[in-house]
Chains A and B, each alone.
Chain A
């Protein structure tokens, strides 16, 4: 069969945003490869999950429905996915680069001895020629991701092992319904055949879940601060500007590491991906990992003392100067121009 497979994260009967994005990507890969799109949802109370999943163009949905399977724990989900992959032999398997997918993915890949690439920013089908082994491969999954601190972009392939596994962060792929009336097949797995009692040795005793307080993904304007902001005090100016413009503050990894900003505001490959109408990059040099999270912004302003900062190359407006000087002026002149 060798289909494309997506592991869907579910909680409280709802399929995660990232999984919907991956189903969309999975559908387009399946179209290109001329194969089916399959998905698996593992959790509890999954009666309505089909309605949420099939419209993305899913041909076969496998469900494992058991109170013990939610919330997620590693071992039972691994057992189910490994056995299901052994049975269905997918050529490609996609998971969210979340605390679930990045826990489950490596475990599954190790059990199946299949290659896994974390945090891909792009997935493309292409061929490959291994000149040494004199072998030609067709229709491999190019798993593309920044590496080495964002200084290079690597294209990774898994020529011989299946499935070709990749994780992708939320927001990287776009979600799109294929057909609200799409008809797929629902396969309810007999959970007892897939898990054993030993899979439940790790017990969750307490959970405090909170919806992320900041919503930088949905903000029309995002002010991104980098290491070049220079201090916590100056960084606080960005919040003022965000408030005035009705936006949110984001940060590069360096600014988060410096302690100027919460981790949940980190933008980039290892943070969130944003596509605002306006992105104001303040003191951000523009490593590729950061750019991966913001380069699709409609308009980009870069404020940087370094006229050759790499981010300037993708900016629409480049202001060469100090953040502490420019940001207060932006606040002042915005107010003047909207009176």
Chain B
């Protein structure tokens, strides 16, 4: 079997699962700066499936593609530590304000620039938006089939077999590459970092990151080309500027409201036997329960 070229779409996201009080500013807006930036959880599930294909089919390469600010290179390194072969950071001010459609356009144009690929694989959705739209939209823009909600991906000869986890059961489908797949959180967790790979790639940097290094590592990067993380800007891909960023985004945010709750007149109770007994009695008497 010939090795496959797999591209993993990944996103660095603020960890919205643990937004504490300190994450809210005095004016009630979210203070992104204090939220840790993490590898989007379902993208890690997707990376694991990509690495399993690599385990299964020798000669397979796994490339991580991410769009984001300079610091998103962190998740490419994280992917390299776990077994990805290389990564591309797509970063440009021109992408600012992109909705899912403008994002998928930029990603699809980057994938066209990469050229050959067999499987595009991504997490079903990112935890900062929960839209689950970018995967299918990239697939549409590349004019390739998509299989969403994947839990298990295996290569069977020329075909790809995918087990999908739906709300009411499980479905198994077969498809041919090129193909886009989105992976759900019930898929196996991503393997952890590999110590050897961590040593190998810990100095992997994008060109922008290298410029900010205080020491001159030029010789190191000349000797070890795999340490250079590719960085694309809008000039490296063919784009119609109208389809980028804010102007390429049909959806606009009209209003953002912070969540301020209106207090009701709640009965305040302690954990004492009297209070709980009284409560249960009241609920039974008012036929709420019983």
- Cβ contacts A269-299/B at 8 Å (1 or 0 each): 1100000011000000011100000000011
B213 interfacial by beta-carbon distance below 8 Å: no
| A-side interface size class | 35 or more
The answer to whether B284 and A334 touch across the interface, beta carbons within 8 angstroms, is yes
Distance between Cα atoms of A151 and B23 in the complex (Å): 10
A281 to chain B, nearest CB (A): 12
Q: By the criterion of a CB under 8 Å from any partner CB, how many residues of chain B are at the interface?
A: 78
Distance between Cα atoms of A325 and B269 in the complex (Å): 13
Set of chain B residues within 8 Å of A301, measured between Cβ atoms: 279
Binding site of A, secondary structure by majority: helix, strand, loop or mixed?
Answer: mixed
Set of chain A residues within 8 Å of B264, measured between Cβ atoms: 313-316
The answer to whether A313 and B261 touch across the interface, beta carbons within 8 angstroms, is yes
Set of chain B residues within 8 Å of A151, measured between Cβ atoms: 16, 19, 23-24, 30, 258-259
Smallest Cβ-Cβ distance to A11: which chain B residue: B168
A3 interfacial by beta-carbon distance below 8 Å: no
The answer to whether B17 and A254 touch across the interface, beta carbons within 8 angstroms, is yes
Smallest Cβ-Cβ distance to A74: which chain B residue: B146
Set of chain B residues within 8 Å of A159, measured between Cβ atoms: 252
Set of chain B residues within 8 Å of A321, measured between Cβ atoms: 270-271
A218 interfacial by beta-carbon distance below 8 Å: no
B195 interfacial by beta-carbon distance below 8 Å: no
**Interchain CB contact (< 8 A) of A313 among B167, B263, B283, B284:** B263
The answer to whether A110 and B101 touch across the interface, beta carbons within 8 angstroms, is yes
**Interchain CB contact (< 8 A) of A204 among B134, B136, B172:** B172
The answer to whether B16 and A310 touch across the interface, beta carbons within 8 angstroms, is no
Smallest Cβ-Cβ distance to A323: which chain B residue: B271
A316 to chain B, nearest CB (A): 6
B228 interfacial by beta-carbon distance below 8 Å: no
B268 interfacial by beta-carbon distance below 8 Å: yes
Within 8 A of A (CB), among B14-41: 14, 16-17, 19, 23-24, 29-30
**Interchain CB contact (< 8 A) of A318 among B146, B149, B174, B269:** B269
**Interchain CB contact (< 8 A) of A203 among B128, B166, B174, B279:** B174
The answer to whether A270 and B130 touch across the interface, beta carbons within 8 angstroms, is yes
Set of chain B residues within 8 Å of A310, measured between Cβ atoms: 259, 261
**Interchain CB contact (< 8 A) of B17 among A221, A257, A312:** A257
The answer to whether A118 and B130 touch across the interface, beta carbons within 8 angstroms, is yes
The answer to whether B146 and A107 touch across the interface, beta carbons within 8 angstroms, is yes
B110 interfacial by beta-carbon distance below 8 Å: no
The answer to whether A325 and B251 touch across the interface, beta carbons within 8 angstroms, is no
Supposing A152-B30, A208-B170, A318-B269 touch, asked if A278 and B276 sit within 8 A by C-beta, the answer is no
Q: Quick check: which of B59-67, B68-76, B137-145 contacts chain A, the rest being far away?
A: B137-145
Supposing A110-B140, A298-B288, A325-B271 touch, asked if A334 and B251 sit within 8 A by C-beta, the answer is no
B218 to chain A, nearest CB (A): 41
The answer to whether A110 and B271 touch across the interface, beta carbons within 8 angstroms, is no
The answer to whether A142 and B133 touch across the interface, beta carbons within 8 angstroms, is no
- Most central of A103, A160, A210, A321 by chain B CB within 10 Å: A103
The answer to whether A319 and B276 touch across the interface, beta carbons within 8 angstroms, is yes
The answer to whether B30 and A204 touch across the interface, beta carbons within 8 angstroms, is no
Set of chain B residues within 8 Å of A221, measured between Cβ atoms: 289
The answer to whether B175 and A203 touch across the interface, beta carbons within 8 angstroms, is yes
Within 8 A of B (CB), among A305-339: 310, 312-322, 325-326, 329-330, 333-334, 336-338
Set of chain A residues within 8 Å of B96, measured between Cβ atoms: none
- Cβ contacts B237-258/A at 8 Å (1 or 0 each): 0000000000001111111111
A178 interfacial by beta-carbon distance below 8 Å: no
**Interchain CB contact (< 8 A) of A160 among B250, B258, B289:** B250
Smallest Cβ-Cβ distance to B169: which chain A residue: A209
Supposing A110-B140, A150-B259, A158-B250 touch, asked if A338 and B290 sit within 8 A by C-beta, the answer is yes
Supposing A99-B167, A326-B276 touch, asked if A115 and B148 sit within 8 A by C-beta, the answer is no
Within 8 A of B (CB), among A143-184: 143, 146-161
**Interchain CB contact (< 8 A) of A207 among B99, B129, B169, B263:** B169
A84 interfacial by beta-carbon distance below 8 Å: no
Set of chain B residues within 8 Å of A211, measured between Cβ atoms: 168
5 more CB-based (< 8 A) A-B contacts, given A117-B251, A212-B167: A110-B101, A114-B250, A116-B131, A156-B252, A157-B252
A-B residue pairs in contact (CB < 8 Å), sample of 19: A98-B167, A102-B133, A106-B140, A107-B146, A115-B99, A147-B129, A149-B127, A154-B253, A154-B257, A156-B253, A160-B250, A202-B173, A205-B174, A208-B171, A220-B289, A221-B289, A264-B167, A278-B288, A326-B271
